[in-house]
A and B are shown apart, each in its own frame.
Chain A
Amino acid sequence: MSRSKHRLFAVLSLLAIASMALTACGGGAPATAAPTKPPVSAKLEFFSWWTAGGEAEGLNGMYDVFKAKNAGVEIVNATVAGGAGTNAKAVLATRLTGGDPPDSFQVHAGLEVQKYSPEQYLEPLDTLYASEGWEKVFPKDLLTLLKYQGHYWSVPVNIHRSNVLWYNKKALADNGLKAPATFADFFAAADALKAKGIFPLVMGTKDGWEAGHVFEDVLAGTLGADGYRGLWTGATPWTDAKVTQALENFKKMLSYVNEDHAALTWDGAGEYLINGKGAMMIMGDWTAGWFASKKYADYGWAPPPGTTGIFVALSDSFALPKGAKNHDNALAWLKVSGSKDGQEAFNPKKGSICARTDCNNSAFKSVPETYDYLTSAAQDWSKDSIVPSVMHGAAAFESWATEYKDIIALFVKSGDVAATQTALQKACVTAGICK
């Protein structure tokens, strides 16, 4: 081989190496050309996991109100489907830390906001609350719930109730029973139903959170509003005898549950209630919308045992990340979210009630199937004592709520009251609330 060919070979191989280096590491190479930015005011990107059914319709209703007030702003509906928001939350965390936040996003009102390190990634909304007068229209208990480290971080758009006991009217009436108001009543009714071969309480525990949901209502029913609230602030110790009592109550309730609960989701279990093989079910008020979708109307509702006068609440709210690209539009969006018009457009379709206390009942007539339930819930909302739901992000940090959920999911299988209470206490210590 001649010398020049040698040199050519060397050059070629170097080129090859360079290109390999580029391709081998190519995955992480950032795009060099900066994208040309659109005019600042043209867009609003809203991030949520509301992709289907009433949720998406409600959101569209609110979009319409926004568009009417902010002509020319294009809404980018950034949704991530699946897993009741768990997938979306993972994506959102990446976007926040990566400096590419959406303009506004969905978060459960309450301590769930801690998960997003608000002092670092979110903008406090105190001035917005003041200028819109929201401190006057949202109930005081809700405002307390929304404040984290002395600031408001999100705007609540709706309220769901966790503690609802749904029942098949016929199943109870046929056996001469009423909706039970106390645990004693409940167990008496359950025995009567069991003797007839009806599942007294139907439950699905397949997805892991349903048992935690029922147990928070049992806790509220056994400890009362203040005792329950104290569990999450450290005022009520988890070692309290009443917590033992709540676990015993729950364990006894589980003995009246359909045996195949492990194979069913909550709505799968709800089929038993609809066809009369089951009598009662404790589940959040999205159940009303589900009943409507099943064309089932012969149901009644009441607060679960011991929770008369208590409203275990959860709420969806919208937050404003720091560095939102369309900051002004995001503020306009939040104003709509907290407004009477916005909430009246959103909630009837979503199947929830307004976070504001001044919504008109007539707005809910647009969805007649759930009108009766929602108006009765709205009435309770304005007078009951409001306590936060743990299973739906209001009462505790998400890491603590997750631990709570896991402990109760294990309790369903083990039934070990003492070990479960120890574990619950330990979770509270880990969360830094108990000592």
Chain B
Amino acid sequence: MRRLTRDRLVSILLILPSVLCILIFVYGFIGFTVFSSLTKWNDLVPDFTPVGFTNYERLFENQRFQIDLSNTVTFTVLFLIATLVLGFVLAVLLDQRIKAEGLFRSIYLFPMAISFIVTGVVWRWLLAPGTEATGAAGVNLLLENLGLGFLKSGWYTDPDIGIKAVVIAATWQMAGYTMALYLAGLRAIPDELREAARVDGASEIQIYRHILIPLLQPITLSAIIILGHISLKIFDLVVAMTGPGTGFSTDVPALFMFDTTFRGNRFAQGSSIAVVLLLMVAVLVVPYLIYNARREVER
């Protein structure tokens, strides 16, 4: 133990406010959410009679929640694949020392500066299939005029597409960000490595496959963590774009939680959804944090 010097005291005092706030407003509230999910508080009037895991049992029996979970998995998997692939391809293209790289980089990055709400509203218009009164609209109209009318579809209004249409909007927003991550990664790889591989007779494809992509692994991991936690708890995009959709084809747990808690006033039930959401994100993030912490120690 080091002695409590004045410097140390000042530094502890300096971080104390934020530590206290985080303890109360993050961990305290998480604790309260877990606590209330185990009570009978399914009304406006708080009722803290403990009921064990009843709320969770009812939750997992609920058909809407089962659909939500499968939607979340579909959304997360498709969204991760689409953003990673698209982001990587864009980064590779930009990495070719093209002219006006800065301009393209900004263009690709811009969607990320927009709120999910705005993205949601814009894509709701773009992917709206059009009505009897108005005829085809948005993307459908574009397809029709290009002579590709057979590709027209109901998009998010078609229960069989549902959440996959939301993936399009989410990818549009986040692919540029992934590109930025990958581009930084590519730039950090010394040119000597590529040169050496070329001297050894490796083709460009081999260079990517055996040298660059493996070296970009930490970037890919970070990207998966960042994008994954966004997609697991996605809410604003879905609210603005589609709502729960027909037969809950675009519903996600966060939306169900909002409906249950603030529209249904069933606070305990809503808390149980929040806890499940937290656990899902934790499963993704905690191993990463542990892995990172170990690496720091090793250094």
Query: A residues touching B (Cβ–Cβ < 8 Å)?
Result: 10, 13-14, 16-17, 20-21, 24-25, 86, 89-90, 93, 96-97, 115-117, 120-121, 205-208, 260, 262-264, 268, 271-272, 275, 277, 398-399, 402, 406-407, 409-410, 412-414, 423, 430
Instruction: Answer whether residue B209 sits at the interface, using C-beta atoms and an 8 A cutoff.
Output: no
Does B198 count as interface, using CB distance less than 8 angstroms? no
Contact in complex: A268, B132 (CB < 8 Å): yes
> In the complex, which residue of chain B has the Cβ closest to the Cβ of A97?
B44
* A21 CB contact (under 8 Å) in B17, B64, B247: B17
Chain A residues, Cβ within 8 Å of B132: 264, 268, 271-272, 275, 277
Q: What 1/0 flags go to B240-270 for Cβ under 8 Å of A?
A: 0001101111000000000100111110000
* B58 lies within 8 A of chain A by Cβ: yes
The reply to whether B44 and A409 contact each other, CB–CB distance below 8 Å, is no
B265 lies within 8 A of A430 (CB):
no
B14 touches A17 (CB 8 A): yes
21 A–B contacts from the bound complex (CB under 8 Å): A10-B6, A13-B13, A14-B13, A17-B16, A20-B18, A21-B17, A21-B20, A24-B18, A25-B21, A90-B262, A117-B45, A206-B157, A260-B129, A263-B154, A268-B133, A277-B132, A398-B265, A402-B263, A409-B248, A412-B246, A414-B247
Do the beta carbons of A208 and B44 come within 8 Å of each other?
Answer: no
Task: Convert B53-75 into 0s and 1s, putting 1 for each residue whose CB lies closer than 8 angstroms to a CB of A.
Answer: 00000100001100000000000
Report chain B residues within 8 Å CB of A97. 44
Taking the complex as formed, is B138 at the interface, i.e. its CB lies under 8 A from any CB of chain A?
no
Residues of A near B13 (CB, < 8 A) are 13-14, 17
The B142-167 residues at the A interface (CB cut-off 8 A) are 154, 157-159
Contact between A260 and B154, CB atoms less than 8 A apart? yes
Q: Which of A20, A271, A423 sits near B131, CB closer than 8 Å?
A: A271
The answer to whether A24 touches B43 (Cβ under 8 A) is no
- In the A-B complex, the 5 residue pairs with the smallest Cβ-Cβ separation, listed nearest first, are A413-B247, A263-B157, A262-B246, A21-B17, A90-B262
Query: Would you list which residues of chain B between 110 and 161 have a CB under 8 Å from chain A?
Result: 129, 131-133, 154, 157-159
Q: Does B271 contact A (CB under 8 A)?
A: no
**Chain A positions within 8 Å of B21 at CB level:** 24-25
B263/A89 in contact, CB under 8 A? yes
Closest to B10 in A: A13
Contacts of A120 in B (CB 8 A): 44-45
Contact B14 A413 (CB under 8 A): no
Contact of B157 among A16, A262, A275, A414 (CB under 8 A): A262
- In the complex, residue of chain B having the shortest beta-carbon distance to the beta carbon of A96: B44
Q: Do A25 and B17 contact each other (CB < 8 Å), given the known contacts A206-B157, A271-B131? A: yes
**A407 vs chain B, min Cβ distance (A):** 8
With a CB–CB cut-off of 8 A, which chain B residues contact A414?
A: 247
Query: Is B173 close to A, CB under 8 A?
Result: no
Q: Does B37 contact A (CB under 8 A)?
A: no
Closest Cβ–Cβ distance, residue A297 to chain B (whole Å): 18
Residues of A near B17 (CB, < 8 A) are: 17, 20-21, 24-25
Q: How far is the CB of B61 from chain A (nearest CB, A)?
A: 8
- B272 interface residue, CB < 8 Å from A? no
Shortest CB-to-CB span from A9 to chain B, Å, is 9
- Identify the closest chain A residue to B43 (Cβ): A117
Q: How far is the CB of A1 from chain B (nearest CB, A)?
A: 12
Asked whether, in the complex, the Cβ of B246 is within 8 Å of the Cβ of A117, the reply is: no
**Is B39 in contact with chain A by the CB < 8 A criterion?**
no
Tell me if B42 is interfacial: C-beta within 8 Å of chain A.
yes
A116 contacts which chain B residues (CB < 8 A)? 44
Question: Which residues of chain A are within 8 angstroms of B133 by Cβ–Cβ distance?
Answer: 268, 271, 275
- List the A side residues contacting B20 at CB < 8 Å: 21, 25
- A272, B58: Cα distance in complex, Å: 41
- With the chains together, A96 CA to B264 CA distance in Å? 15
Measured CB to CB, the nearest residue on chain A to B14 is A17
B63 x A410 contact (CB < 8 A)? yes
Known: A25-B21, A410-B247, A413-B159. A402 touches B16 (CB 8 A): no
